[in-house]
Structure 1
Amino acid sequence: MKNLRTLKKYFLKYQKKLFLGFIFILFSNAGTVYVPILMKDAINQLQQNTTTHTLLFYATLIVLSSLVAGIFRFLIRQSIIVVSREIEFDLRNDFWSHIQKLPLRYFQNNSTGNIMSHATNDINAVRNFIGPAVMYSIDTGIRLLIVVAIMISLDWQLTLFALVPLPVLSYGVYRIMKLIHEKYTKIQEAFSVLTTVAQENFSGIRVIKSYVREANEIQKWKNLSKDYLNKNMNLVRIQAWIMPILLIITGISIIIVIWIGGAKVISGTMNLGEITAFIVYLGILIWPVIAFGWVTNIVQQAEASMKRLNKIFAEPYEIDDSEQTDYSIKEIKGEIEFRNVSFRYSDVLPNVLNNINLKIPIGSTLAIIGHTGSGKTTMINLIPRLYDTTEGEVLIDGVNVKKIPLDILRKNIGLVPQESFLFSDTIFNNIGYGLREVSKEKVIEVSKIAQFDKDVETFPQGYETIVGERGITFSGGQKQRACLARALAIEPNILILDDSFSAVDTHTEEEILKNLKKYMKNRTSIIISHRISTVKDADNIIVLHEGKIAEQGTHDELVALGGIYADLHFKQLLEKELEELN
């Protein structure tokens, strides 16, 4: 139960409603346990040749007691079950808020399906504990105490005999629930794998169809589904033992009561009304005993789920505002400096960047070029603090980025990543995603700069056209230009383009670069590209090689240097000439 202790703050928030639910449970059980007493008195009156009026009186009391129990039973659900839904709402929101603040490193190490499993199955399992499990635990606990107390008052010896089988039941349930806990954990893991595969298939449906791998994916899904089914069937087989064990043992208790109690009635030490009430009370005890096993099952599942959720909640934000944050900083102008910067993704991996020293003046354009894996993307990810440096520091306007409030830092940086991502929403909302208030004029303006406006005009619904999931209905070039428009819409003081024109033809690229030169005047731009044509007009160009700045200068200076940049330049010129000849 130690993992469920983290729910304490949620229980305290709704303690008044829970206390009210506890009061309702008391009144409901009072109505329930009073019925057998009335039955006992009514039966004893029958033996004394009572009047119809007296029997009608007892019948009315029994109906009223049952009505009271029913009304308060309804109020119990309206209080405790409603609280469980409210706590589920709070827990889900807290989970989502925490996930949003976790660093990129977490999402690289954990699959989407695994995270989705936590957000759905695990939170639902915890909600079942908060609602039904808590409600029935208190309800059956109180009923058990009241009923056993009344049974003892009727005949303590008979009560003792009737309750003898229950310790055996408790041990049996304990053993079964331990197995259930183990099986349920494996089921959650299998479901996580299923969710991951489903998500990957939906996102990569183009690749699957292009390589004609539908049959393979169907078989793969069947195998995973079969594994998930087998794990569930193993759990069901174990759960199937709970009810027979409960019914057998409670049945033994009833047989004991009838055998010993019947003998007492015959001998005259108990009357017929008392033995009837005793049997009814034993029947009332059956539900608490059954509920005990059911609740134990829910608690075991919730414990396993909360353990996984607690593990996520324990994940540090790593990148967040801290004590050194200077909240007086309200804007950034755009001067960037890398000072002795080194970076590695984990302690067991080598450095991706090594002792980078670089200054980017306000309003200038820096181009970064280099072979795949040279550290280009890693370098620019340090500017908006998607990662923090391992050694050294990144400064903006002479201030360490760790001291700049994170929201101020990122609001002033327009980042267009390598992988173009669009939400399943309208084009208008995708472009205006970074703005609180979006005007159509702004969306059209940045679309024109990104050379995307003409594409939008070809769509029947224009900017209200729904984009397929992850932009699946767009071409690669359209996605890149839509993402560029989104970055420009926030009017960033720093614009970072990470190979953002790879799917755009050279003519369109030239037009975009011309537009950007005007739009980004007096603002800082960083362009990563493999095309020399994209970077040749930059104020400064650096060539990264194995995590170090191997070359630096203008286009003409680097061509004259005759190094890595010059080799790339001449190779691309040759490729262009060959294309023109063909």
Structure 2
Amino acid sequence: MGPAFRRLLPYVLRYRRRFAIGLTCVVITTAIQLVSPWVLKYAIDDITRGATRQKLALYAALLVGVASVGAVFRFLMRRILIGASRDIEYDVRNAFFARLQQMPLGYYQARRTGDLMSRATNDLNAVRMMIGPAVMYSTNTILMFVVAIGIMLSIDTRLTLIALLPLPLVSISVKYFGSAIHKRFESIQAQLSDLSAVVQEALAGVRVVRAYNQEPHEIARFKAANAEYVRRNRVLIRLQGLFYPSLTLFLGFGAVLVLWLGSREVIRGRITLGEFVAFNGYLVMLSWPMIAFGWVTNILQRGMASWKRMLEVIDAVPAITDDHVTEAGRAAPLLGAIELRHLTFAYPGSGAPVLADVSLTVSAGQTVALVGATGSGKSTLISLLPRLHEPPPGTVLLDGIDVREIPLAALRGAIGFVPQEPFLFSDTIAANIGFGVHDEAPENRMRAAAAVARLDKDVEAFPAAYDTVVGERGITLSGGQKQRTALARAIMMDPRVLILDDALSAVDTYTEEEILARLRAVMRQRTAIIVAHRVSTVREADLICVLDKGRIVERGRHDDLVAHGGLYAALYRKQLLEEELAAS
């Protein structure tokens, strides 16, 4: 029993009662199947001695009765065992998704979405087949094989041994082909993940594809991935095409020998005609376990390969957890005072630090703006506060407590985060605004948040107003509307800390001024951190910090920084010139 199989056992053991009942039905079904040739044996021998209408009716009724009872238990067997496998599939899918939800941003940046989707669908289905149909058929085939051979031995030992002559060849075939199928299936699943990733990227980036007229390139990329997937499947098909016929061929040799030698035994009177018919009936039954054994082996090899791929995700250890939470962190009121102490941060696998020796103190209720060139570390800095990336110990504090010591649920519940690229779900505008609120909030609160984000005017023009479905990733909304919806979502949470990461970049200057005027009242009640490229967005901030190459090189209020004549002043003058040129 390998470690991968042991990891599957807890899911199976939850339904051990149903498996016990289902396997009992398998035993009864197999027993009823094995009764039919024995009834036929007595019928032929009895009718050979003297046929009557009563005997024919009796044996016909017996055979129909056996078949009917067998059908009932066969139905129960399939319903119970395959039903249990569906429930296990449900549990595994939940565990898989729950683990994905615990993984940090860095995990997804290193993996393709299509690959994860393939594991959650195709691989999971292969695992279900392994723990449902494979268990059912393997139990059925083993029982039938053992009992059928026992009955055949009781009829004629010599004939049974002759019938089993091809068995070593069957075993060798199963061992060789089973290993080869396992390797090929792992290769196929890996390619299917790549194919899914190509499709996912092409559909997610459909606007870019259209804009750059790259449809032929994407079609060619998909064709190449699809051709490789077909090629790998053809290799597997060739293996399976050899596997099953080889089993049938070996069993056919045994059947020919039995037919030839068995008929001679009947002629010599060593066995009766009924016994010979029954023997052949059991031999035919024996053929199914041999072939089914190969099919089950195939399913088991596929299922185990897929389960190992799923375990790579399920057993992945989240890099950001509540392992360092303290009692002080649990009891912290989280008022919004932020402190950075000599913060130096580099992404895993990257040598150069993105932030270097950053120190900053933000009082509760203060508004701080971060400005700087692209790549200066602004977005990285604000992502460390809600622990979207893990900061070094003792470098990021909220109300004097290391953020690593505060439970993630409490920490992120106290922070309203509007990312640089807003993401909307395929749901109504109201549902998207209320996404961060666990309890159902009153509608007037949702409308007030939308009004602050200056979304109310746009929504009123929609036919269904706040019940308008925005489509996948908010595709039916403009860039500015998406940003304002994301802003309303953050305001709706009523957080102690509000973080805006260039959240108004897609909004025109006039609308930006309206939103900022309304936001000032909101930001007075909480700590706010604003990342922006426009000076107009940050000029009213209590403190402006200028980042350059991961360091804070300037800090102060707008007028002081302009008078200082540094990077901020240069940025301010540049934007003034751009505005004058645009006006002229």
State the TM-score, normalizing by the size of structure 1.
0.97
Identity %: 46
* Aligned counterparts of 1:438 and 1:114: Cα–Cα separation in 2: 37
Letter paired with 2:478: S
* Aligned counterparts of 1:328 and 1:400: Cα–Cα separation in 2: 11
Q: Which residue of 1 aligns with 2:322?
A: 321
Q: Does 1:354 align with 2:352?
A: no
* Aligned counterparts of 2:68 and 2:22: Cα–Cα separation in 1: 18
Alignment of 1:93-132 (within 5 A): 93-132=94-133
Q: CA deviation at 1:384?
A: 0.5
Could you tell me whether the CA contact under 8 Å between 2:325 and 2:407 is conserved in 1?
Answer: no
- Report Cα offsets for 1:43-96 as digits up to 9, x if no partner: 111232254323432332222222222111111012111100110011111111
Q: CA deviation at 1:509?
A: 1.1
* Aligned counterparts of 1:261 and 1:331: Cα–Cα separation in 2: 89
Q: CA deviation at 1:331?
A: 4.2
- Give the gaps of 5 or more residues in structure 2: none
Could you tell me whether the CA contact under 8 Å between 1:343 and 1:391 is conserved in 2?
Answer: no
Q: Which residue of 1 aligns with 2:152?
A: 151
Q: Which residue of 2 aligns with 1:245?
A: 246
Q: Does 1:451 align with 2:454?
A: yes
Q: Which residue of 2 aligns with 1:23?
A: 24
Alignment of 1:176-187 (within 5 A): 176-187=177-188
Q: Does 1:261 align with 2:232?
A: no
* Closer, same or farther: CA 195–569 of 1 in aligned 2, 3 Å: same
- Report Cα offsets for 1:101-158 as digits up to 9, x if no partner: 1111111111110110011001111001111001101111111111111111111221
Q: CA deviation at 1:377?
A: 0.7
Could you tell me whether the CA contact under 8 Å between 1:331 and 1:408 is conserved in 2?
Answer: no
Alignment of 1:93-492 (within 5 A): 93-322=94-323, 324-326=325-327, 328-329=330-331, 331-390=333-392, 392-435=394-437, 436-492=439-495
Q: CA deviation at 1:347?
A: 4.3
- Report Cα offsets for 1:311-356 as digits up to 9, x if no partner: 1112111212225343743741100111121111114421111121
SS of alignment partner, residue 368 of structure 2: strand
* Aligned counterparts of 1:105 and 1:25: Cα–Cα separation in 2: 48
* Aligned counterparts of 1:323 and 1:378: Cα–Cα separation in 2: 22
State the TM-score, normalizing by the size of structure 2.
0.97
* Aligned counterparts of 1:134 and 1:65: Cα–Cα separation in 2: 24
Alignment of 1:515-554 (within 5 A): 515-554=518-557
- Report Cα offsets for 1:553-580 as digits up to 9, x if no partner: 1112222222211211111112122222
Could you tell me whether the CA contact under 8 Å between 1:31 and 1:69 is conserved in 2?
Answer: yes
Could you tell me whether the CA contact under 8 Å between 2:393 and 2:404 is conserved in 1?
Answer: no
* Aligned counterparts of 1:391 and 1:380: Cα–Cα separation in 2: 16
* Aligned counterparts of 2:292 and 2:5: Cα–Cα separation in 1: 20
Could you tell me whether the CA contact under 8 Å between 1:344 and 1:390 is conserved in 2?
Answer: no
Could you tell me whether the CA contact under 8 Å between 2:127 and 2:307 is conserved in 1?
Answer: yes
- Report Cα offsets for 1:424-450 as digits up to 9, x if no partner: 111111111111203321221111111
- Report Cα offsets for 1:241-286 as digits up to 9, x if no partner: 2231122112111111111212222222222111111100000111
Could you tell me whether the CA contact under 8 Å between 1:424 and 1:470 is conserved in 2?
Answer: yes
Letter paired with 1:355: D
Could you tell me whether the CA contact under 8 Å between 1:450 and 1:482 is conserved in 2?
Answer: yes
SS of alignment partner, residue 241 of structure 1: helix
- Give the gaps of 5 or more residues in structure 1: none
Q: CA deviation at 1:6?
A: 1.3
* Aligned counterparts of 1:154 and 1:231: Cα–Cα separation in 2: 47
Q: CA deviation at 1:191?
A: 1.6
Q: CA deviation at 1:420?
A: 1.3
Letter paired with 1:250: L
- Report Cα offsets for 1:335-394 as digits up to 9, x if no partner: 011112111111442111112111110000010011111111111011111111135421
SS of alignment partner, residue 496 of structure 1: strand
* Aligned counterparts of 2:156 and 2:102: Cα–Cα separation in 1: 62
* Aligned counterparts of 1:578 and 1:35: Cα–Cα separation in 2: 95
SS of alignment partner, residue 164 of structure 1: coil
Could you tell me whether the CA contact under 8 Å between 1:367 and 1:541 is conserved in 2?
Answer: yes
* Aligned counterparts of 1:125 and 1:47: Cα–Cα separation in 2: 51
Q: Which residue of 2 aligns with 1:508?
A: 511
SS of alignment partner, residue 541 of structure 1: strand
* Aligned counterparts of 1:417 and 1:170: Cα–Cα separation in 2: 60
Could you tell me whether the CA contact under 8 Å between 1:451 and 1:508 is conserved in 2?
Answer: yes
What's the C-alpha RMSD, in Å, of the aligned pairs?
A: 1.5
- Report Cα offsets for 1:426-475 as digits up to 9, x if no partner: 11111111112033212211111111111111212211111121122221
Q: Which runs of 4+ in 1 moved over 4 A?
A: none
* Aligned counterparts of 2:529 and 2:305: Cα–Cα separation in 1: 47
* Aligned counterparts of 2:330 and 2:403: Cα–Cα separation in 1: 14
Could you tell me whether the CA contact under 8 Å between 1:340 and 1:392 is conserved in 2?
Answer: no
Could you tell me whether the CA contact under 8 Å between 2:182 and 2:301 is conserved in 1?
Answer: yes
Letter paired with 1:270: I
Q: CA deviation at 1:230?
A: 2.2
Q: CA deviation at 1:486?
A: 0.8
Aligned residues: 581
Letter paired with 1:418: Q
Could you tell me whether the CA contact under 8 Å between 2:324 and 2:404 is conserved in 1?
Answer: no
